Amino acid sequence: MKELIMADEFFATDRQKFAPLAARMRPKTLEEYAGQEHILGPGKLFTRAIEADRLSSIVLYGPPGSGKTTLALCISERTQAHFESINAVMSNVEEMRKIISAARNRLVASSRRTILFIDEIHRFNKAQQDVLMPDVESGTIILIGATTMNPFFSLVSPLISRSLVFELKPLSRDNIISLLRRALEDSERGLGSLNVKADTKALEFIAETSDGDARRALSALEVGVLTTPKSKDGNIHFTLQIAEESIQKKIVQYDADGDLHYDTA
């Protein structure tokens, strides 16, 4: 039993270094966050709400790798409110009721608000979404929902009407290249200790092929670097050929009932 506890402690302490590059390089603050200047630029409503810690319930809608979960985690770092995070795939009504009950007690006891982040909120059915309604409306919880599906199709209308919807765009080519260079230079969380010499054309190829998906771009960089042996000069040369081998063809998203049907067509 003691050995098992020690193993658990080791995993909790060192699991970060075993995480994929995309997870290790996830921005921890808004200052590190890349892209989405249309909602996070100077003087924008979203930026002002975060800086003033006066966020209302919101839904973040955008393609994979555009920074929805990362943005929520950056908000958790900035806010004075209590922050709870669940994934709709693994959660259920019972867990939500416990979080809401604790949020009510917290608000009464210490006047501290609770932000509830629900990743993949479109996975909740109508009944599960309805559980949130009274406390979102009363302000007991501040909802941050993240979804890759159009919320006007996938979420119930009453929940949408009580939330601000922010659409996140695919990251730009320059955003992706900046993230790749940051990962190559960062010795603590990234690949900086491996002495990688990356060709500009290789990074540009990944930036173009990843279609604005930061996770996909960083995963391609990681697999390319880690599977390339060092040359005689002690460096890893990340070339265009390696980049082409490292990134997979984009998976087309499709849904029969939502607007992705028309996007695919």
263 vs 265: CA distance, rounded Å: 5
Amino acid at 139: G
Q: pLDDT tier at 141 (50, 70, 90 boundaries)?
A: very high
Query: Does the pLDDT value for residue 261 go beyond 90?
Result: no
Query: Does the pLDDT value for residue 24 go beyond 90?
Result: yes
180 vs 69: CA distance, rounded Å: 19
Q: pLDDT tier at 256 (50, 70, 90 boundaries)?
A: low
User: Which pLDDT score, from 0 to 100, does residue 10 have?
Assistant: 47
* Cβ-based burial of 205 (10 A; exposed 0-12, middle 13-18, buried ≥19): buried
Report the range of poorest mean pLDDT among 11-15, 24-28, 109-113, 159-163.
11-15
48 vs 182: CA distance, rounded Å: 27
User: Which pLDDT score, from 0 to 100, does residue 2 have?
Assistant: 46
Q: pLDDT tier at 42 (50, 70, 90 boundaries)?
A: confident
Taking residues 201-220, report their average pLDDT.
95
Query: Does the pLDDT value for residue 111 go beyond 60?
Result: yes
Query: Does the pLDDT value for residue 3 go beyond 60?
Result: no
50 within 8 A of 78, measured Cβ to Cβ: yes
- Overall pTM > 0.75: yes
A 10 A CB-CB count for 167 gives 15
Q: Hey, what are 156's tokens?
A: 């119930």
147 vs 166: CA distance, rounded Å: 11
